[in-house]
Amino acid sequence: MRYITDLDKLTRIPPLERERLKQVAARYAFRVNDYYLGLIDWQDPADPIRRLVIPDQEELEDWGALDASNESANSPVRGVQHKYPHTVLLLCNEVCGAYCRYCFRKRLFMNDNDEVSTDVSAGLEYIAQRPQVTNVLLTGGDPLLMSTRRLGRIIEGLRAIPHVQIIRIGSKMPAFDPWRISGDPALLDLFRRMSTPQQRIYLMAHFDHPRELTEPALEGLAAGLDAGLAIVNQNPIIAGINDHPEVLAELFRRLSFAGVAQYYLFQGRPTAGNKPFETTIVHSYRVVEEAKTRVSGLAKRARLVMSHESGKIEIVGVDRRHIYLRYHRARDPRNEGRMLVCRRDDDACWLDDLVVIEGLGGGRPPWRDDDHSASRAPAAQALSCAG
């Protein structure tokens, strides 16, 4: 695979535009490969595949935070994120097959970031000392960009810890470079040995658009399944890429045909640089629900969630006046399963934009210790009184 990090190599983009985009790439890393470039329809300036990897001037708009979910606050050891008792994330690689323009972890690709550790020994030690950790997600960056030997050492290290039952690998390589799976017999052998009938390894694939499901991509998924992986897909709702019911429906359908279940759909985090990719909560909900009406039951198992600092929050409903949310996972165990009823706001993109009318279980909005909701209370109360 030939990787491209120099925008001047993209001669399909006019020279003046390339010059402008270099300012974007100077702030947020740019990298793509020739296979993925080949999927772009250059005749279409709004082509979703182009939008996914080619810098956009609007990224420079001053908006959002680099670490919008405050992930770094959950890092007890370099390269480890531990937010929920049973689950640990190992950030073991800081490179990806290409860089998605909407990435919520783009800070990891910046020079001064030290949240990733390519030496996972301290992370493995941390996990080994905590019997409550049953579930480990290898992430980054993209773990499948590591050599098979290195990945093998990490997986073998995890398999040697008796209380780790589930290993997940989060990767967009099935979309960016399918041959990374189908073309590496040693990797497939590693999966065959380590993904057993008793303990499967889960590949958390990341397809955003049905056009990424090319023949080589489907062959990569088939090779992974054949080697014993369980494979699911998860992706964000991204403006101009997949925020359309038919696009999502086709993605769900074709993944289900290939034996891959859609797991989470993510509401985009308010991450710096991501303004052009944001969708509102109401729009995302409508798109997902409309997509689900067009597919069979197997293809519509996904949950639409916000990975908020306070937990994973499912967007469960929208009516004329309200947005209904539920904690699917909560950082504070007291909020586990808790419902939040919010005033409907068609411009809101994130939980912090919403006014919470009622968090079942009582009290102020549970994700903040301060009383930031007080200034919003009269409006919330008025709405409550109005029924």
Q: Is 269 in the site for ligand SF4 (CB under 6 A)?
A: no
Size of residue set near ligand SF4 by CB under 6 A: 9
Contacts for 149-157 with beta carbons within 8 Å, 24 or more apart? Answer: 149/186, 151/187, 151/190, 152/186, 152/190, 154/90, 154/92, 154/120, 154/124, 155/190, 155/194, 155/201, 156/194, 157/120, 157/124
Q: Which of 94, 115, 142, 243 binds ligand SF4 (CB under 6 A)?
A: 142
Provide, rounded to whole angstroms, the least separation between the CB of residue 1 and ligand SF4. 15
Return d(Cα 174, Cα 207) in angstroms, integer.
Answer: 8
Residue ranges in 217-256 that form contacts with ligand SF4 under rule CB under 6 A:
none
Nearer to ligand SF4, 32 or 325 (CB): 32
Helices (H), 280-350: 281-292
Provide, rounded to whole angstroms, the least separation between the CB of residue 266 and ligand SF4. 10
Provide, rounded to whole angstroms, the least separation between the CB of residue 173 and ligand SF4. 8
Residue (of 312, 267, 264) closest to 74 by Cα position: 312
Q: Which of 39, 103, 187, 238 binds ligand SF4 (CB under 6 A)?
A: 103
Helices (H), the chain: 15-27, 34-37, 48-53, 121-128, 148-159, 173-176, 179-182, 185-194, 215-226, 245-257, 281-292, 377-385
Residue (of 201, 205, 284) closest to 239 by Cα position: 284
Nearer to ligand SF4, 100 or 341 (CB): 100
Nearer to ligand SF4, 106 or 312 (CB): 106
Return d(Cα 329, Cα 27) in angstroms, integer.
Answer: 33
Nearer to ligand SF4, 238 or 281 (CB): 238
Nearer to ligand SF4, 99 or 126 (CB): 99
Provide, rounded to whole angstroms, the least separation between the CB of residue 14 and ligand SF4. 26
Provide, rounded to whole angstroms, the least separation between the CB of residue 279 and ligand SF4. 16
Return d(Cα 305, Cα 327) in angstroms, integer.
Answer: 9
Q: Which of 21, 32, 37, 96 binds ligand SF4 (CB under 6 A)?
A: 96
Nearer to ligand SF4, 21 or 100 (CB): 100
Q: Which of 105, 269, 331, 338 binds ligand SF4 (CB under 6 A)?
A: 105
Half-sphere exposure of 354 (CA within 13 A, CB side): 28
Nearer to ligand SF4, 91 or 124 (CB): 91
Burial classification of residue 8, based on how many CB atoms lie within 10 Å of its CB (0-12 exposed, 13-18 middle, 19 or more buried): exposed
Provide, rounded to whole angstroms, the least separation between the CB of residue 143 and ligand SF4. 10
Handedness of CA 270, 268, 114, 79 (dihedral sign): positive
Contact string 13-52 vs ligand SF4 (x = CB under 6 A): ----------------------------------------
Helix (H) or strand (E) holding 89: strand 87-93
- Token look-up 């999966």 returns 191
Q: Is 99 in the site for ligand SF4 (CB under 6 A)?
A: yes
Q: Is 100 in the site for ligand SF4 (CB under 6 A)?
A: yes
Nearer to ligand SF4, 173 or 287 (CB): 173
Nearer to ligand SF4, 212 or 314 (CB): 212
Return d(Cα 232, Cα 255) in angstroms, integer.
Answer: 9
Q: Which of 82, 168, 172, 275 binds ligand SF4 (CB under 6 A)?
A: 172
For residue 362 the two structure tokens come to: 């009582």
Residue (of 142, 140, 56, 70) closest to 102 by Cα position: 56
Provide, rounded to whole angstroms, the least separation between the CB of residue 142 and ligand SF4. 5
Question: Which residues contact ligand SF4 by CB under 6 A?
Answer: 96, 99-100, 103, 105, 141-142, 172, 206
